[in-house]
C-alpha cells in the first residue's frame, strides 16, 4: 500500500508548508490578545456558551475561554497557562514573545536557514538571557513588593481598587508566609476568600484567621471562646442512616423506643469522649444530631456542622489538627490548637472567625454587584499570587519593556561572537524580545519605532549599572528610569515568560509534519 492510501483519512501537511501554517496559527492567536498588553491595554468581552459575559484584559483568561481547535495555537495557550501557574502573571507577554520568535524564524527559513539551526540558536539565546537577567535584579524591600504587586495589576479595575487590593495582598502574603525553614514558602491557597455583597470595593478587607459564613449549632453556646483544642471530623455525629432494605421487627411496644434510646446513648458516649479528650471546639463536615446539641454545650464545646471540606483543610493547616473520620477514632494527637473562636454578625449574617497560631488569613471581597465582587476576587487572586512569589523569591526587574530591550542589546553583542548561522537566530531572538515595548507603545497610542529608539538611546546614554532600568512609562509617555517611576516586576515572571516562550517556539519549529485526523474518518474498504 502506498503512503497516500494508508493516510487517506488524514490530512497531512509537511515541511515548509506545515511550518508556515503553524506559524500563521501562532500569529493569529497573538494578534487576538495583542491589544490587551500593558496598563493601556483594552479589555475583551468574553461570552460563554450559556451567554454569561466577562470583561477582562487578562491574556490567559481570554485564551482559555476561547474555543481554539488548532493544535499549535493550543500549544501556545498551554504555555500561557503554565506561565499563569508558575508566575501568576506575564501570560500575554509569553504568547506575544513566542509568536514573534516564530515570525522572525520564518523570515530566516525563507532565506534558507534550517529550522533546527534556528531552534539551536534560540536555545543558546535563552540560556544567555537567563544568566544575564540575574545581573539586572534588584533586591525587593517590603515597599518594593507592594510596588511590584501594583504594577502587576496595572490595567485591571480602577486605581483606588488596585492600590487597596495590592496592599491587602502583600499583607496577606506576609501572614501566611512560612519563613522558618531555609526556603521561604508562601502558598496563596492558604488565604480564604469570602465574598460579601454590599459596600464598595475599598471596603474589602483582610481578617487574620479563618472566617466562614457559619453559625454555631446552638445559640446557647458561648459566642466567643479563648485558646483551646479543636477536633475536625470528616464526617458527622449522627444516628446511623437506615438502609432502605433494612427491616426492623417490632414485636412489642417498647422495642422501637429502646432502639432509639440505644442510639442516643451511643451519641452521648461520643460527646463524653470528646470531653475526655479536652475538645473545646468541634467542626464536622456532615451533620451533628439535634439531640446532642445541649450535651455538647454542657461539655463546654462550641460546635459547627456542615463545614465544607476545603474549609476543614484550611482549619487543619491553621490549627495543626488531623482530620479524623469519626469521634471513635479520634486521639489526643489528632487535636489542633486555636487562639480564639468567635461568632460575629456581619450584615445580619453570622460569621465564624477562628484565629490560629499558624496564622491563616481571610480576604473579604466587597462590592455592589456579583460582577464587581467577581472582579475584586480575581484581582486579589492575581495580586496575592505575585505577592506570595515575591516572598519566596524577592528579586525584581524593571518593567515597561526596559528589561527586554536591555536583554536584546546585550544579546546582539553576544551574537556577534558566535561564528555559525546560529548568529542569525540569536539576532532574530533579540528582535523578538523587543515585541514587549513595541506593543506597550502601540497600545498607549505611541509610535512603536520611535519609542524603541528612544529607549535604546536612553539606555546607552545612562551609566552601565542603571542602563537596564530605562523603559517606557505609559503614564508619562516618556522613556525613563523604571525603578524611580515604580514600575517593577518580579524576576520570576520575566524569566518564566522568556523560557516558556522559547520552549513553545522551539517545539513548534521542530514540527515538520502535521497529520490531522479527518473528523469523519471512514473505514477503508478491503480489496
Residue 134 CB, shortest distance to ligand ADP, in Å, is 18
Contact present, 490 and 393 (Cβ < 8 Å): yes
In the bound state, the residue with its beta carbon closest to ligand ADP is: 399
Could you say which of ligand ADP, Mg ion, none residue 288 binds, taking C-beta under 5 to 8 angstroms by partner kind? none
**Which residue among the candidates 58, 89, 289, 431 is catalytic per the annotation?**
58
- The catalytic residue among 36, 84, 89, 92 is 92
Minimum CB separation from ligand ADP for residue 121, in Å?
25
Site for ligand ADP in 471-500 (CB under 6 A): 472-475, 487, 489
User: Cβ distance 176 to 187 under 8 Å?
Assistant: yes
Number of CB atoms found within 10 A of residue 198's CB: 12
Is 139 a residue of the active site? Answer: no
41 contacts which partner out of Mg ion, ligand ADP, none, CB within 5 to 8 A by kind? ligand ADP
d(CA 493, CA 482): 16
Q: Which does 398 bind (CB under 5 to 8 A by kind): ligand ADP, Mg ion, none?
A: none
Q: Which of 144, 334, 382, 431 is catalytic?
A: 382
Q: Does 209 bind ligand ADP (CB under 6 A)?
A: no
| Nearest-approach distance from CB 491 to Mg ion, in angstroms | 15
CA distances from 141 to 167, 235, 386, 394 (A): 14, 45, 14, 8
Q: How far is the CB of 103 from ligand ADP (least distance, A)?
A: 18
Q: Would you call 92 a catalytic residue per the annotation? A: yes
23-36: burial string, b at 16+ Cβ within 10 Å, e else: bbbbbebbebbbbb
Residue pair 122/6 in contact (Cβ under 8 Å)? The answer is no
What residues between 89 and 148 interact with ligand ADP by CB under 6 A?
Answer: 89-93
Which 3-state string (H, E, C) describes 163-195? HHHHHHHHHHHHHHCECCCCCCECCHHHEEEEE
Q: Answer yes or no whether residue 89 interacts with Mg ion by CB under 5 A.
A: yes
Residue 382 annotated to the active site: yes
Q: Name the residue nearer to ligand ADP (CB basis): 334 or 489.
A: 489
Binding of ligand ADP by 440 (CB under 6 A):
yes
Q: Determine, following the binding rule CB under 6 A, whether residue 296 of this chain makes contact with ligand ADP.
A: no
**362 labelled catalytic:** no
Angstrom distance (rounded) from CA 437 to CA 38: 9
Count CA within 13 A, CB hemisphere, residue 314: 24
**Location of C-alpha cell 480564639:** 340
Query: What is the C-alpha to C-alpha distance for residues 120 and 125, in angstroms, rounded to an integer?
Result: 9
Task: Give the binding range for ligand ADP (CB under 6 A) out of 87-95, 194-202, 223-231, 264-272.
Answer: 87-95
CA distance 300 to 93: 57
The residues carrying an active-site annotation are 58, 91-92, 382
Site of interaction with ligand ADP (CB under 6 A): 36-39, 41, 57, 59, 89-93, 151, 154-155, 399-400, 436, 440, 472-475, 487, 489
Amino acid at each position: 500500500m502506498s503512503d497516500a492510501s494508508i493516510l487517506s483519512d488524514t490530512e497531512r501537511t509537511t515541511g515548509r508548508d506545515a511550518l508556515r501554517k503553524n506559524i500563521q496559527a501562532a500569529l493569529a492567536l497573538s494578534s487576538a490578545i495583542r491589544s490587551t498588553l500593558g496598563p493601556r491595554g483594552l479589555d475583551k468581552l468574553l461570552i460563554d456558551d450559556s451567554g454569561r459575559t466577562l470583561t477582562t484584559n487578562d491574556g490567559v483568561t481570554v485564551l482559555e475561554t476561547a474555543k481554539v481547535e488548532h493544535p499549535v495555537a493550543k500549544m501556545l495557550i498551554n504555555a500561557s497557562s503554565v506561565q499563569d501557574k508558575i508566575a501568576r502573571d506575564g501570560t500575554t507577554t509569553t504568547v506575544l514573545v513566542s509568536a514573534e520568535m516564530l515570525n522572525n524564524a520564518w523570515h530566516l527559513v525563507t532565506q534558507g536557514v534550517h529550522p533546527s539551526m534556528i531552534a539551536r540558536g534560540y536555545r543558546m539565546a535563552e540560556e544567555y538571557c537567563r544568566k544575564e537577567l540575574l545581573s539586572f535584579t534588584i533586591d525587593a524591600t517590603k515597599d518594593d513588593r507592594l510596588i511590584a504587586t501594583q504594577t502587576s495589576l496595572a490595567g485591571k479595575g480602577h486605581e483606588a481598587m488596585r492600590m487597596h487590593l495590592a496592599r491587602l495582598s502583600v499583607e496577606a502574603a506576609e501572614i501566611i508566609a512560612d519563613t522558618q525553614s531555609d526556603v521561604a514558602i508562601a502558598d496563596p491557597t492558604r488565604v480564604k476568600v469570602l465574598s460579601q455583597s454590599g459596600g464598595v470595593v475599598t471596603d474589602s478587607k483582610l481578617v487574620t484567621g479563618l472566617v466562614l459564613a457559619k453559625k454555631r449549632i446552638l445559640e446557647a453556646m458561648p459566642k466567643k471562646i479563648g485558646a483551646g483544642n479543636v477536633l475536625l471530623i470528616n464526617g458527622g455525629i449522627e444516628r446511623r442512616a437506615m438502609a432502605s432494605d433494612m427491616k426492623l421487627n417490632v414485636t412489642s411496644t417498647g422495642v422501637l423506643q429502646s432502639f432509639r434510646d440505644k442510639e442516643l446513648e451511643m451519641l452521648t458516649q461520643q460527646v463524653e469522649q470528646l470531653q475526655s479528650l479536652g475538645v473545646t471546639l468541634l467542626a464536622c463536615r456532615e451533620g451533628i444530631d439535634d439531640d446532642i446539641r445541649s450535651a455538647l454545650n454542657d461539655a463546654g464545646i462550641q460546635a459547627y456542622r456542615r463545614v465544607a471540606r476545603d474549609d476543614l483543610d484550611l482549619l487543619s493547616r491553621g490549627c495543626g489538627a488531623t482530620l479524623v473520620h469519626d469521634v471513635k477514632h479520634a486521639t489526643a494527637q489528632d487535636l489542633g490548637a486555636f487562639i480564639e473562636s468567635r461568632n460575629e454578625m456581619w450584615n445580619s449574617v453570622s460569621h465564624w472567625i477562628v484565629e490560629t497560631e499558624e496564622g491563616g488569613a481571610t480576604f473579604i471581597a466587597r462590592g455592589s454587584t456579583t460582577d464587581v465582587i467577581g472582579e475584586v476576587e480575581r484581582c486579589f487572586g492575581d495580586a496575592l499570587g505575585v505577592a506570595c512569589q515575591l516572598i519566596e523569591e524577592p528579586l525584581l526587574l524593571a518593567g515597561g519593556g526596559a528589561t527586554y530591550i536591555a536583554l536584546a542589546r546585550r544579546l546582539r553583542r553576544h551574537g556577534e561572537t558566535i561564528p555559525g548561522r546560529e548568529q542569525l537566530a540569536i539576532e532574530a531572538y533579540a528582535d523578538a524580545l523587543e515585541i514587549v515595548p513595541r506593543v506597550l507603545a502601540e497600545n498607549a497610542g505611541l509610535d512603536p519605532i520611535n519609542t524603541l529608539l528612544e529607549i535604546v538611546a536612553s539606555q546607552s546614554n545612562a551609566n552601565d549599572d542603571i542602563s537596564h532600568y530605562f523603559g517606557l512609562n505609559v503614564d508619562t509617555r516618556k522613556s525613563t528610569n523604571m525603578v524611580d517611576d515604580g514600575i517593577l516586576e518580579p524576576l520570576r515572571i520575566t524569566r518564566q515568560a522568556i523560557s516558556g516562550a522559547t520552549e513553545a517556539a522551539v517545539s513548534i519549529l521542530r514540527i515538520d509534519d502535521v497529520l490531522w485526523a479527518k473528523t469523519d474518518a471512514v473505514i477503508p474498504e478491503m480489496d
